[in-house]
A = this chain, B = another copy of it.
Amino acid sequence: MSITYLEAIQAAQDRALAENEFVYIYGQDVGSFGGAFKATKNLAAKYPGRVIDAPISEDAMVGSAIGATAEGMRPILEMQFADFSTIAINQICNQAATQFWRTGIPCPITVRLPSGGTEGGGPFHSQSMEAIYAQYPGLIVLTPATVEDAYSMLLEAVTIDDPVVFCEHKYLYYHLKADQLPDKNLPVGKARIARTGKHATVVTYSAMVHEALRAADTLEEEGWEIEIVDLRSIKPIDTDTVLASVARTGRLLCVSEAFPWGGVNAEVISRVTSEGFHLLDAPPKRLNAKDTPIPFHPNLWKAHRPASQSIASSLRDLLRY
């Protein structure tokens, strides 16, 4: 058996619906059509009335899910693309995220954001919005990089009593396969050492984990052992695991597919330099996408985002220091 990242997301939702009668799915075209990416394939038929097509009303989609939680429901919302969640940002960040703090009543919604770039996606079907959401108090922001994490973290997201923004990467949907789904896995909030090494640490998440792994392969041929930390969750960030890795290697490169200003890379570098300054043998480095919208054309898109080559070259700079 072989299962893709996308199938894992479908399977997690299938299991969540099966195990918890309070779970329902709401989003555009998620019903009998099974979603734009087929992440809810077969679920409407299997769970009649619980996988519901929404009008093109992202604000109302999220607002209604928030209300439903007060009746005990645990909605999963699918945004057709992460980029369209800007329409719902007020409900996510001001309504859902503030509710527990304001009232003491939890708001367990899961908002699935098909995120990140693919060839030909262009500026409005490619965004990585995790760091926008992470800035708001009251949200949990997950960024699974593996089939196993896509499955187990989505299942866990549904059980978490807070609003979860689940950033699944579209590029991994079909590209990534695993042999089977995990029975157990690291809990949300823990980072994972995706590869051990001793000369430098790459802290990254989501699709960039795989680019970093490829870069590490290249560097290995050059005699360098690169450690890769897959954050898995970017709010919270597992700072301990990051610091422990930097303590081992003394060098830090942060890689993210998001735009360069701020974001996960800046946050990780701030934490490491504030809390583990003395661990660093070289200035920390970061690699982001460029500071323009995400280009449509594959030539440009490939140059816009970090990739194994640019990661490898940043690593060489870092190691040379």
Identify the A interface with B (CB < 8 A). Answer: 83, 86-87, 89-90, 93-94, 97-98, 101-102, 123-124, 131-132, 134-138, 235, 258-259, 261-267, 269-270, 273-275, 277-278, 280, 282-286, 290-293
Known: A283-B274, A292-B138. A94 touches B89 (CB 8 A): no
Nearest chain-B residue to A235 (Cβ)? B261
Q: Report the Cα distance A291→B274, complex, angstroms.
A: 18
Distance of A110 from chain B, by nearest CB (Å): 20
Measured between beta carbons, the chain B residues less than 8 angstroms from A102 are 123, 293
Check A137 against B90 for contact (C-beta < 8 Å): no
Distance of A38 from chain B, by nearest CB (Å): 26
Distance of A297 from chain B, by nearest CB (Å): 13
Measured between beta carbons, the chain B residues less than 8 angstroms from A280 are 277
Q: Which one of B97, B98, B269, B283 lies within 8 Å of A266 (CB-CB)?
A: B269
Known: A261-B135, A267-B266. A283 touches B293 (CB 8 A): no
Nearest chain-B residue to A83 (Cβ)? B94
Residue among A98, A135, A265 facing the most chain B CB atoms (10 A cut-off): A135
A–B pairs, 20, beta carbons within 8 Å: A86-B94, A94-B123, A97-B293, A101-B293, A132-B135, A134-B262, A136-B259, A137-B290, A137-B292, A137-B293, A138-B293, A261-B267, A262-B266, A266-B269, A269-B273, A273-B284, A274-B283, A274-B285, A275-B283, A277-B280
Distance of A117 from chain B, by nearest CB (Å): 14
Distance of A161 from chain B, by nearest CB (Å): 16
Q: Which one of B94, B124, B277 lies within 8 Å of A94 (CB-CB)?
A: B124
Check A132 against B134 for contact (C-beta < 8 Å): no
Nearest chain-B residue to A127 (Cβ)? B94
Q: Report the Cα distance A123→B99, complex, angstroms.
A: 11
Measured between beta carbons, the chain B residues less than 8 angstroms from A274 are 269, 283-286
Nearest chain-B residue to A129 (Cβ)? B135
Check A90 against B86 for contact (C-beta < 8 Å): yes
Q: Report the Cα distance A131→B259, complex, angstroms.
A: 12
Check B261 against A291 for contact (C-beta < 8 Å): no
Check B134 against A261 for contact (C-beta < 8 Å): yes
Measured between beta carbons, the chain B residues less than 8 angstroms from A290 are 137
Measured between beta carbons, the chain B residues less than 8 angstroms from A273 are 269, 273, 283-284
Nearest chain-B residue to A236 (Cβ)? B261
Q: Report the Cα distance A274→B317, complex, angstroms.
A: 12
Check A262 against B262 for contact (C-beta < 8 Å): yes
Measured between beta carbons, the chain B residues less than 8 angstroms from A263 are 135, 262
Distance of A235 from chain B, by nearest CB (Å): 6
Distance of A132 from chain B, by nearest CB (Å): 6
